Amino acid sequence: MKILITGGAGFIGSHVVRLFVNKYPDYQIFNLDNLTYAGNLGNLRDVENAPNYTFLKADITDSASMQDLFRDYQFDGVIHLAAESHVDRSISDPMSFIMTNIVGTVNLLNAARANWKDMEGKRFYHVSTDEVYGTLGETGLFTEETPYDPRSPYSASKASSDHLVRAYNHTYHMPVVLSNCSNNYGSYQFPEKLIPLVINNIKHGKPLPIYGDGKYTRDWLWVGDHAAAIDLVYHKGRDGETYNIGGNNERKNLDLVHTLCDTVDELLGRTVGEARKTITFVKDRPGHDRRYAIDATKIKDELGWEPTVNPEEGLKMTAEWYLKNEEWLDNVTSGAYQKFYDKQYG
């Protein structure tokens, strides 16, 4: 079995690559990534020499190179995670999201279609986001039947790629499966996203930026639980189906940051309450979605998946990891990061 994992040098992708390389020694795992600012081979040091692992540096927006790779390696399955993933960047630079998330996905679908003469035993899995469903009010949950209503260039690009994956299933009988997941957190996440950004800023005594009133709500899931869900969906999900994945763990941003502040204070041996003093309310994200929350009943009932890590334990584990892995953090926050940071937060 030859499995192509795209975006494997990124945050979630690196957890999926690690899981598959270790759990399935009989599979050949190919990690395709063009190492953007978010991709880092330092995320995979522990598996880079495994006999069943190969790294392929390539850009999914390059259709010819996707065709060549499929012809040369004859992949049996694709787990597609490569994407531009940060909402704020999609607001300042929508085109790179259109190119990677939409055009890149179609290039992969076309390369698979051209090479999978016999679709038997093949599978194209698109890893997507709950943001395609738009925003919720105070109550309610996103189910697999919730109509799409994407509201940022990022979520519109992911919604578009979801539709294209389903269209290839319907039109060309491409065997596909999809999942739409809530906010992930854990090790190896690039510190542009809320949780690692806050930990890094506390460590450096920098202000902790909270957009708007801080009452925006997200449903947080530990990345290891997402990787386990992806394994199940890839192997056992029904053809053409979509599975929602969530942590059943809603938090308002300000509450989450308070917990994180106290956790990091404790880990650093400081007086609890110190970090909270550095919270700073900043200009809101344009078009900021108020609340996301997932109903993950389908994946629980059909595939037996449930989150295993509780939020307090998960946040502590995550904060410990960033504080311990100073070299990784310093490495990814050197160079272009400062420029991005200054532009975003002034």
Q: How far apart are CA 330 and CA 47, in angstroms?
A: 22
Residue 29 in contact with ligand DAU, rule: CB under 6 A: no
Residue 36 in contact with ligand NAD, rule: CB under 6 A: yes
Tokens for 154? Answer: 């990022």
Cβ pair 154, 84 in contact under 8 A: yes
Whole-angstrom distance between the N-terminal and C-terminal Cα of the chain? 49
Residues in 100-139 at the binding interface with ligand DAU, rule: CB under 6 A = 129-131
Q: Which of 15, 18, 80, 86 binds ligand DAU (CB under 6 A)?
A: 86
Told to judge if 62 belongs to the known catalytic residues of this protein, a careful annotator would answer no
Residues in 285-344 at the binding interface with ligand DAU, rule: CB under 6 A = 285, 292
Tokens for 105? Answer: 């996905």
Distances 173 to 120, 124, 239 between C-alpha atoms, Å: 10, 11, 10
59 interface partner picked from ligand DAU, ligand NAD, none, CB below 5 to 8 A per type: ligand NAD
Told to judge if 255 belongs to the known catalytic residues of this protein, a careful annotator would answer no
CB of 120 to ligand NAD, least distance (A): 27
Residue 194 in contact with ligand DAU, rule: CB under 6 A: yes
Nearest to 23 by CA among 41, 42, 5: 5
Tokens for 149? Answer: 């209503």
CB of 292 to ligand DAU, least distance (A): 5
Residue 211 in contact with ligand DAU, rule: CB under 6 A: yes
Continuous segment of H or E residues that includes residue 159 = helix 153-172
Q: How far apart are CA 142 and CA 148, in angstroms?
A: 10
Q: How far apart are CA 123 and CA 175, in angstroms?
A: 5
Continuous segment of H or E residues that includes residue 333 = none
Point out which span in 18-26, 79-87, 165-173, 268-276 binds ligand DAU (CB under 6 A). 79-87
Please, which residue, 9 or 319, has the CB nearer to ligand NAD? 9
Nearest to 72 by CA among 86, 58, 85, 84: 58
Beta-sheet pairing, 183-185 with 217-222: parallel
Residue 44 in contact with ligand DAU, rule: CB under 6 A: no
Residues in 71-90 at the binding interface with ligand NAD, rule: CB under 6 A = 81-85
Catalytic residue, candidates 130, 231, 250, 265:
130
- Catalytic residue numbers, as ranges: 130-131, 154
Sites of contact with ligand NAD (CB under 6 A) = 7, 9-13, 33-36, 38-39, 59-61, 81-85, 100, 104, 127-129, 158, 181, 183-184, 190
Residue ranges in contact with ligand DAU by CB under 6 A: 85-87, 129-131, 182-183, 193-194, 197, 209-211, 216, 218, 253, 285, 292
